Structure 1
């Protein structure tokens, strides 16, 4: 796939999604962002896991599973370091790209659904 065409299609499709959405290379480079991602200040051309605490990202990331299976992967988790319930998605686009986004669903989550380290 031609990267420029993939980026163009990404921008047409995801521009107005209300939370940050990233188009990633299979090597996790951020190739494009939607408007919310740009407004949030996410950088282009860096590895997505270099933003913030890389160790915390690694335990939640499902990019490899999405690329290996060729199917979308969803993960709902409690992100202790941010204090939110995150509903994350990794969508493979062909063999070389991924779309990654997530939503803070804390206000909709039932507290008893999530195990926190402080509850043990």
Structure 2
């Protein structure tokens, strides 16, 4: 997803479309939440200008997700955010946490 600092989804790729993610909504409304998700690293990434990564277990389905927030070079306050399901590559003891 291409997201503005105010958390508006500006654009999505084909996979996000297939998952039913529309443009023009707040990204945190997908979870649903009225404000940024607790584990969101967008503010950190926007402040530092450096890519941020976080791995976490999804409370929705128990899968291990590897999330990324990547600044768009030359475009202020816009970033790319995506996550990969890497459950099949994670040690079982990490999933138990």
Report the TM-score, using the length of structure 1 for normalisation: 0.71
Matched, 1:61 2:40: yes
4+ residue runs of structure 1 moved beyond 2 angstroms?
A: 52-55, 113-116
May I ask how many residue pairs the two structures share in their alignment? 94
Structure 2: gaps (5+ residues): none
How far did 1:109 drift? 0.4
User: Which structure has the larger Rg over C-alpha atoms?
Assistant: 1
Q: Which runs of 5+ in 1 are unaligned?
A: 1-21
TM-score with structure 2 setting the length = 0.87
**Within the alignment, does 1:32 sit opposite 2:11 as a pair?**
yes
Q: Distance in 2 between matches of 1:24 and 1:87?
A: 18
Q: CA RMSD in A?
A: 1.7
For residue 42 of structure 1, the aligned residue among 12, 16, 21 is: 21
Whether the 8 Å contact between 1:74 and 1:90 is mirrored in structure 2 is: yes
Which residues of 2 match residues 66-85 of structure 1 at below 5 A?
A: 66-85=45-64
